[in-house]
Amino acid sequence: MFNKDKEIEVYPSTNKLAKRGVTAVGGIIGGVALLAMSALPPVAGIIVGGAATAIGIGAVLSKDPDDKKIGKFVVAGGVLALVSKLPIPAFIAGVAGTVLSIGGLGLLGMGIWNGIKFIKGLKSRS
């Protein structure tokens, strides 16, 4: 629907709706992954944290700006998983584990919220 002076968006655009859907799926998967990494036993946490850090560094070194952005988050999650499972002072490991869990819950919540907005956008288009 258009106004004489400016465009009014009644239905979300296809690109905006698709981006919201991808963000929802990414947030849910990322949140579950961070929560799973925080729940791993020490040896598995170190292995998975190291692998996530290496994969994230590879993404950061990519030429694609979107890969770099996601890579920074993967590196951060991997480092937090590593630090939370290493035999270092309990306070440091505890803080890293807490930040990892809070980040996982935040991503999960963001993914669910975007999923709800995505579904509402799909319904408004039908």
What is the model's pTM? 0.80
Residue 5's pLDDT is what? Answer: 55
Biggest CA-to-CA distance, the chain: 66
Rounded mean pLDDT, 70-95: 93
pLDDT digits (tens, 9 = 90+) for 86-114: 999 999 999 999 999 999 999 999 999 99
pLDDT digits (tens, 9 = 90+) for 26-45: 999 999 999 999 999 999 99
Residue 15's pLDDT is what? Answer: 86
**Backbone dihedral region for residue 51 (phi beyond 0: left; psi -120 to 50: alpha; all else: beta):** alpha
Sequence letter at residue 114: N
The full set of domain ranges for the chain reads: 25-114
For helices 42-60 and 14-39, give the axis angle rounded to 10 degrees: 150
